[in-house]
Amino acid sequence: MDRKKIRFGIQAAATLIQNANIKGFLTGSIFEGATKSVCVPGLNCYSCPGAIGACPIGALQSHLSSMKFKFPYYIVGFLIFFGAVLGRAVCGFLCPFGFFQDLLYKIPFYKKNRFRIDKYLRYLKYLILLLLVIILPLTFDLIPFFCKYVCPSGTVAGIWLAAADSNIRSALGPLFNWKLIVLLIFIVLGLIIKRPFCKYICPLGAIYGFFNRISVYRMTLDKNKCINCGACAKACMMNVDPAKNPNSMECIRCGECVDACPHKALQMGFMPGLKKTEKTNDPAVGGK
């Protein structure tokens, strides 16, 4: 089975597992089992009727915006754990909202992935992480700014809950309309650009990106095999050049570059090239 099919299968399974409370979708109620105290790796709103775990970004904001500040050891522990083991492979394999965007991009439509302001827009997610996820929730009590004003994953949950519950439907107002507009913008952008939310907005991807260079799951480049043909960079939908930086903070480990390489110079997986350290050009291990 090829890599694309395997990844698609893992994404679908991860989405189903993280949203295994099928009964909730039918009744419009949310899951109240013990697993709700465990953070899931991807962006998956805990108010989604199917969610069986807690969204780490939602939990982090909720913790930071509580009246009495206590360092969120538990949530930060989960974020570091997922980051150190998988890095942004979480985005490529386990995130339900990433999977949703991959499905959107499959719809035939006008496509454009390379444009001038792309590299500047990438910094937006770090600003959002700092401002909406950390600083503002720390400053103002009980307001999870990112969830409230930006996160489209919560809007999807809201649509589902509103469809199933007339009380929620009657409570919809300007905030919901704003969030619906944000969701629609990302749906339209998702038809044109590969994973616009992951590239420019997602604070969870921003956190995991910091771990890409050191995570157990990573990519290595065999310099002896690489002929700098540029096939990997051309195949990359995240606009990364794996020949220059195989562990870029933007890489979501989709593996398109690995398949595109005519000389099999790129390897990706858990501890890839463990016995070939001297051949890699990964700067993290002392290469050039």
Partner 1 sequence: MKKYLPAVMFILLAVLLIVIGIILQQPESVFNKAVRICMECVGLG
Interacting residues toward partner 1 by CB under 8 A: 30-32, 34, 36-39, 45-47, 51, 53-54, 58-59, 62-63, 66, 70, 72-81, 83-85, 143-144, 147-148, 151, 154-155, 157-158, 161-162, 168, 171-173, 175-176, 178-180, 211, 214-216, 271, 274, 277, 282, 284-285
Shortest approach of partner 1 to residue 208 CB, angstroms? 12
Per DSSP, the residues of 233-270 read HHH-TT---TTT-TT-TT-----HHHHH-TT--EEEEE
We find the least distance from the C-beta atom of residue 182 to partner 1, in angstroms, to be: 9
Residue 129 DSSP label:
I
Which residue's CB is nearer to partner 1, number 119 or number 276? Answer: 276
Query: How many Cβ atoms sit within 10 Å of the Cβ of residue 70?
Result: 8
With CA atoms as reference, report the closest residue to 182 among 204, 205, 153: 153
In the structure encoding, which two tokens stand for residue 249, read together? 């903070």
Minimum separation from the CB atom of position 112 to partner 1 (A): 30
Residue 117 has φ and ψ, to the nearest 5°, of -80, 0
Query: First CA to last CA across the chain, in angstroms?
Result: 34
Name the residue nearer to partner 1 (CB basis): 61 or 101: 61
| Cβ-based nearer residue to partner 1, 13 or 285 | 285
CA 212 to chain centre: 13
Q: Do 54 and 40 meet the contact criterion of CB atoms below 8 Å apart? A: yes
Whichever of 148 and 223 has its CB closer to partner 1, that residue is: 148
Nearest to partner 1 of 105, 145 (CB atom): 145
> How many beta carbons lie within 10 A of that of residue 28, not counting itself?
17
Residue (of 254, 233, 258) closest to 243 by Cα position? 233
Distance (Å, whole) CA 135 – CA 131: 5
Residue number with CB closer to partner 1 (96 or 144):
144
Give the tokens for residue 252: 């979501």
Q: What's the closest the beta carbon of residue 239 comes to partner 1, in angstroms? A: 26
> CB 80 → partner 1: shortest distance, Å?
4
Instruction: Please report how close the Cβ of residue 145 comes to partner 1 at its closest, in angstroms.
Output: 9
CB of 179 to partner 1, least distance (A): 4
Beta carbon nearer to partner 1, 157 or 265: 157
- Smallest CA-to-CA distance from 102 within 110, 115, 89, 93 is with 93
